Structure formats: structure tokens, C-alpha cells
């Protein structure tokens, strides 16, 4: 378990390499949802998503002699980009396993970094092969969400939010593996015990509410198709253990609404946001844990929008 002090240390350590991202008022979504809505724009990070925070914090925490043995990660795209960026900064050999379903937009960005990319059939297979590689090569695993060092890095978003706007009533966070919401919740709750933490998943992959309902952590979760690939699949043990204490509301939004919200963000906010990042905005009308009129920050987790998806939505 980490605390606010660990997250402050992470902020100091990764600060030179990332953006303290804007928190921008959204008059469009405020008017339509009845909240005072503020968008936390993680899509402006150097790699286009929040994932770079956790990757930087974990890799900087590896002892120098272990770094030279290399690192390994598996990812559907955004974590891979974060790891590649951090590996380049710290001059660490990196091997990254990605599933075939990874959008070309993310793969094209990934190939710009000096990392070895290996393609697996599925995300689950990428994880299996990544773990096997770590054992064989004695490489350090840079886990996308289920490592406290990753969580501390993601928690710097919560620190920024509460320091920038201490009067916030709630923070809405999209949930894939759960590292993002875990870090934000720990930071925000230590700074403001009354703030509400709201989780969002899509109806294609409601692994968090299903895990809590069944009292079983679904670390893998079958998903036939999702436009929000960053939120698809299972959750980690960390968020499963933290959720009962730290998460006040879990919302499941329809993927059709997420698709509409991608276009609304583009048209009305002039923001390019991937489906995983748009899910938190799409869920605003469903919120019940705070009254209308409350000040609500929404984490826009990434902007690496699949151009094929965008063309389909526009048509």
C-alpha cells in the first residue's frame, strides 16, 4: 500500500519529463449534465495518455544495475508508449509485447522509439509471453496497473487535481486494469476525505462491478469487441482490494454512448479523445453519488484515437 507521501515523491521524480496537464472547464457538458464539469486533459501528455506517469515512476525506481538487464511490458497501446518513452529517457533496453488488435495509430507511434516490439495474438497471450520473457532474460516487468510504483505514478493526477481545485466534489475516472483510479483515489482521499471517486467502465467489459458482485477478482475477462480497447479485459488485485473503501460509485456506460461522446468532444470541445478516454464523459448523466450543481472533474485518459474508428463514426 502507498500513501500521499509516495505519490508526492513520484510527482517530484517524474515532473521533469511530463506535463502537469490542464484542467479545463467544459461549458458544453456542464450545461447538458447539470454539473460544473472540468476536463483533466491527459491526452496532451508526450505519449498521448496518462500511462506515461506510471511507466516513468516504475522505471526510475529500478536500481541502475537491474535496469541494464532490460525491462519488459505488455500493452494494448498506451502503456507500451509510456514504457517506450520512459525507456528512452532512462536509456533502458525495452521489449514490449502487444496484441494484434492494437490500433495502427498506437503502433505507428511506438515504432518511433528504440524498443523491440513483439506481436501476440491476444492481450492475454501478450501477457503470458511477456512474463516468460522476463523469467528467461531476467528483465524487470513494468506492469501496466498492478504494481504500487505504477499506481503512485498515476496518483500524481489526483495530486494535481486537488491542488489545482481543492473545492472539487467528485472525480470521474475510466477503469481498465484499475491503476489509474487506485492512485487518484489514494491521493484525493488523503487530501479531501469527502471527495467522491466515481469509476466508469463500458458495457462491453464491466469487469470491476462484476468482480465486486461475485466477490472474485476477474483478472481476465472475455471481451468479443470493444471500441474502448484500453478499458477491455480484467482488473488488477490492487483496485479489487481498494474499491470497497475508495470507490463511491461504479457506472457502466453503453459503448454506443461512448462513440457519440467521441464526436461530441471533437465537435464541441475541439478535443481528439480516444474511446477509453471519452467513456468517463459519456457517463456524466448517470452519476447519482453527488447532486447536480456539484464540481466534477473528469479524467480524459488519452487521445490516441484510432483513425479507422473516427472515419466510421463520421460516416
Same domain, 134 and 157: no
Shared domain check, 115 and 28: no
**Roughly how many angstroms between the first and final C-alpha of the chain, as a whole number?**
47
**Same domain for 225 and 122:** no
Mean predicted confidence (pLDDT) in 284-313? 95
Among 22-31, 163-172, 218-227, 256-265, whose mean pLDDT is lowest? 218-227
* Whether residue 66 is found in the same domain as residue 208: no
Model confidence over 59-100: pLDDT tens digits? 999 999 999 999 999 997 899 999 999 999 999 999 999 988
Query: Are 221 and 248 in a shared domain?
Result: yes
- Whether the pLDDT of residue 136 is over 80: the answer is yes
Per-residue model confidence (pLDDT) at position 85:
97
Domain count, the chain: 2
User: Residue 103 — pLDDT band, cuts 50, 70, 90?
Assistant: confident
Please tell me the predicted confidence (pLDDT) of residue 102: 83
pLDDT single digits (tens) 110-126? 999 999 999 999 888 99
Rounded CA gap, 125 and 98, in Å?
A: 9
pLDDT computed for residue 92 by the predictor: 97
Kindly state whether residues 118 and 160 are assigned to the same domain. no
Which structural domain, as residue segments, surrounds residue 169? 4-48+147-314
Res 308 pLDDT > 90:
no
**For residue 156, is pLDDT > 90?**
yes
CATH of the domain at 254: 3.40.50.1100
- What is the pTM for the complete model shown? 0.96
Amino acid at each position: 500500500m502507498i500513501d500521499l507521501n509516495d505519490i508526492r515523491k513520484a510527482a517530484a521524480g517524474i515532473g521533469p519529463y511530463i506535463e502537469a496537464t490542464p484542467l479545463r472547464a467544459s461549458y458544453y457538458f456542464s450545461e447538458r449534465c447539470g454539473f460544473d464539469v472540468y476536463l483533466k486533459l491527459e491526452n496532451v501528455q508526450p505519449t498521448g495518455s496518462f500511462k506515461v506517469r506510471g511507466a516513468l515512476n516504475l522505471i526510475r525506481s529500478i536500481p541502475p544495475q537491474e535496469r541494464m538487464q532490460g525491462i519488459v511490458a505488455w500493452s494494448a497501446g498506451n502503456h507500451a508508449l509510456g514504457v517506450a518513452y520512459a525507456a528512452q529517457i532512462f536509456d533502458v533496453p525495452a521489449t514490449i509485447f502487444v496484441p494484434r488488435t492494437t490500433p495502427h495509430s498506437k503502433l505507428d507511434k511506438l515504432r518511433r522509439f528504440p524498443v523491440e516490439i513483439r506481436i501476440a495474438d491476444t492481450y492475454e497471450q501478450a501477457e503470458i509471453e511477456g512474463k516468460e520473457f522476463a523469467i528467461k532474460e531476467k528483465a524487470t516487468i513494468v506492469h501496466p496497473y498492478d504494481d504500487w510504483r505504477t499506481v503512485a505514478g498515476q496518483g500524481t493526477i489526483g495530486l494535481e487535481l486537488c491542488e489545482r481545485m481543492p473545492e472539487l466534489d467528485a472525480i470521474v475516472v475510466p477503469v481498465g486494469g484499475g491503476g489509474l483510479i487506485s492512485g487518484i483515489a489514494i491521493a484525493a482521499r488523503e487530501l479531501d476525505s469527502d471527495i467522491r471517486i466515481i469509476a466508469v467502465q463500458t458495457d462491453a467489459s464491466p469487469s470491476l462491478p462484476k468482480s465486486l458482485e461475485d466477490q472474485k477478482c476477474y483478472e481476465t475477462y472475455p471481451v468479443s469487441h470493444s471500441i474502448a480497447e484500453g478499458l477491455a479485459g480484467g482488473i488488477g488485485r490492487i483496485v479489487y482490494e481498494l474499491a470497497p473503501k475508495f470507490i463511491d460509485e461504479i457506472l457502466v456506460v453503453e459503448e454506443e454512448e461512448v462513440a457519440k461522446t467521441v464526436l461530441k468532444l471533437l465537435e464541441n470541445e475541439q478535443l481528439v479523445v480516444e474511446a477509453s478516454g471519452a467513456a468517463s464523459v459519456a457517463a456524466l448523466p448517470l452519476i447519482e453519488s453527488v447532486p447536480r450543481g456539484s464540481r466534477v472533474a473528469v479524467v480524459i485518459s488519452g487521445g490516441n484515437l484510432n483513425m479507422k474508428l473516427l472515419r466510421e463514426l463520421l460516416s
